[in-house]
């Protein structure tokens, strides 16, 4: 009986620790890490043809690493969120990984047939604590322009993504998971867009 009570007490203490850490009003630093990309090499694509020309952060954020503000359930204070690496760098890293895994990223700008210019319009996290449970949300809106090496613009595609999670206690790990899922959704949307297929010779 004593061992059972000890286990219950330990569980309660761990739960309390997690709860108190989630209620912290201090700054939050996200480190979402790499995502699992399911983008096998496309045998029918125009190989090594794309080059990421630029990834522009157009979010009007106060700093490159800024990633939003979180409401706190038991305080009027707002927790500032930052991300390592910066959101634009994180986006570029995984876009490059996807292109490379598909076998369509050129080895150099000179070798590319099509250039990609990415404009990140929105990439942030926020938390709504007005209901009984926390609502965590990550938004990622990006616009990608495709331009042939000769200067002809093939077109532009915009990919808006919203990921929301309803949980009893919102911790940084939950937001990091939403970040990874939002990036996966974005890359999947880009890969399936008509303009992307045209750029790699699939149309």
User: Mean pLDDT over residues 124-139, rounded?
Assistant: 87
- pLDDT, mean of residues 7-20: 44
**Mean pLDDT score of the chain, rounded to an integer?**
85
CB 106 within 8 A of CB 48: yes
Mean pLDDT of 113-136: 91
| Of 20 and 119, the one with more pLDDT | 119
Residue 10 within a domain: no
Total domains in the chain come to 1
In a domain, residue 73? The reply is: yes
Region of poorest pLDDT, from 14-23, 118-127, 175-184: 14-23
* φ, ψ for residue 131, nearest 5 deg: -100, -175
Contacts of 101 (CB under 8 A, 6+ apart): 37, 39, 40, 41
Q: Is 172 domain-assigned?
A: yes
Does any domain span residue 15?
Answer: no
Over residues 48-60, mean pLDDT: 96
Give the number of C-alpha atoms closer than 13 A to the C-alpha of residue 9, restricted to the C-beta side: 6
Interatomic CA distance for residues 184 and 178, integer angstroms: 10
- Give the mean model confidence (pLDDT) for residues 13-26: 46
Residue 160's pLDDT band (boundaries 50, 70, 90)?
A: very high
The CATH number given to whatever domain includes residue 164 is: 3.40.50.10610
Residue 13 lies in a domain: no
* Length of the chain counted residue by residue: 203
Domain that holds residue 68: 27-199
1 within domain boundaries: no
**Does residue 22 belong to any structural domain of this protein?**
no
């Amino acid at each position: 009986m004593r061992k059972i009570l000890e286990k219950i007490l330990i569980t309660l203490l761990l739960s309390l620790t997690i709860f108190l850490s989630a209620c912290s009003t201090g700054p939050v630093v996200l480190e979402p890490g790499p995502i699992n990309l399911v983008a096998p090499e496309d045998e029918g694509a125009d190989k090594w043809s794309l080059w990421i020309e630029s990834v522009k952060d157009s979010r009007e954020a106060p700093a490159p690493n800024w990633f939003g503000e979180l409401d706190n359930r038991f305080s009027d204070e707002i927790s500032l969120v930052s991300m390592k690496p910066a959101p634009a760098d994180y986006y570029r890293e995984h876009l490059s990984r996807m292109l490379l895994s598909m076998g369509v990223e050129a080895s150099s700008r000179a070798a590319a047939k099509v250039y990609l210019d990415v404009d990140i319009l929105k990439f942030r996290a926020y938390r709504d604590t007005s209901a009984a449970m926390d609502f965590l949300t990550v938004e990622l809106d990006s616009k990608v322009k495709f331009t042939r090496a000769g200067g002809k613009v093939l077109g532009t595609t915009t990919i808006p993504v919203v990921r929301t999670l309803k949980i009893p206690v919102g911790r940084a790990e939950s937001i990091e998971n939403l970040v990874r899922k939002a990036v996966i959704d974005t890359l999947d949307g880009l890969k399936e867009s008509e303009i992307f297929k045209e750029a790699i010779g699939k149309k």
